[in-house]
Amino acid sequence: MADTKKKILIVEDERKISQVVQVNLMMAGYDCDVASDGEEGLRMALTGVYDLILLDLMLPKRDGFSVCKEVRKTLDTPIIMVTAKEEADDKVMGLEIGADDYVTKPFSIKVLLARIKANIRRFSGEVVERVAPEVNEDKIVIRELVIDNKNFRVSKGGREIELSNKEYELLYFLASHVGEVFEREELLGKVWGYDNYYGAMRTVDVTMSRLRAKIEDKPAEPEYIITKRSKGYYIPK
Ligand code: CA
pLDDT tens profile 47-88: 998 999 999 999 999 999 999 989 988 888 899 988 876 666
Output the CA 201–ligand 1 centroid distance in Å.
24
Long-range contacts of 202-208 (CB under 8 A, 24+ apart): 202/91, 202/92, 202/95, 203/95, 203/101, 203/102, 204/170, 206/92, 206/95, 206/96, 207/95, 207/164, 207/166, 207/167, 207/170, 208/170, 208/233
pLDDT number for residue 8: 97
Distance 110 CA to ligand 1 centre (A): 20
First-to-last C-alpha distance (Å) of the chain: 47
Low-confidence residues of the chain: pLDDT under 70: 1-3, 85-96, 125-137, 194-199
Ligand 1 centre distance from Cα of residue 58 (Å): 4
- Ligand 1 centroid to residue 36 C-alpha, Å: 9
185 CA to centre of ligand 1 in angstroms: 30
37 CA to centre of own chain: 23
Ligand 1 mean position, distance from CA 83 (Å): 8
Give the per-residue pLDDT at 107.
Answer: 84
Any idea what DSSP says for residue 200? T
pLDDT at 59: 94
Residue 128's pLDDT is what? 43
- Ligand 1 mean position, distance from CA 15 (Å): 9
User: What is the model's pLDDT at position 194?
Assistant: 64
Interval between CA 14 and ligand 1 midpoint (Å): 6
Global confidence as pTM: 0.55
